[in-house]
Structure 1
Amino acid sequence: MAVRQVAHVQVAPDRAVESLLHFSPEVGQAVDDALESAPTSPVAQSFAAYLGALGTEPGDALAARRRFDRYAAGVAPCTPWRRETPAPP
């Protein structure tokens, strides 16, 4: 069962992107599925916020912003990292 769950988590965001690229009316449901299958996924959360910002209803955009803000408040800030480069020969 764990393998099936992992597969579903990977498929949901892919289906959401595919729906958006082809302007499919399923894009909203695909994003909802991605959020349901992986609620802490940065991809799913960002996608939902993006779709909310694209909407024409101010209430939808505000709701998307609030949902993303709640998500972002629970995420640790990114730590900058330095790329290790090999020493010159």
Structure 2
Amino acid sequence: MAVQYPDAIATHSAHQVLCIDADGLIRRRDYSVEISANSPAAHYSSDFLTVDGIVLPTKRVVYGRDVTGHRVEEPVLVSIDLDNVKVS
């Protein structure tokens, strides 16, 4: 699903492509990082956790993409693991 964010929303890129699973969770988002010479990125979210009714990904990994749009395994550009998540 392609989305176009309005200028009022701060994001890596105004144009993104979201890959949504059967449960309605965003598993991958493809975009070009505007502040980094429009570098193509594939941003994966996984290990979802429900906290106080809010579903959150606890693992996020960002890879580069090649000219065909496929992720490039190395180097990993960003890796975030969350634990002990609380909502207040």
Bigger share in strand: 2
The two structures share one fold, judged by TM-score above 0.5: no
Higher helix share: 1
The alignment's TM-score, normalised by the length of structure 2, stands at 0.27
- TM-score (structure 1 length as normaliser): 0.27
Larger radius of gyration: 1
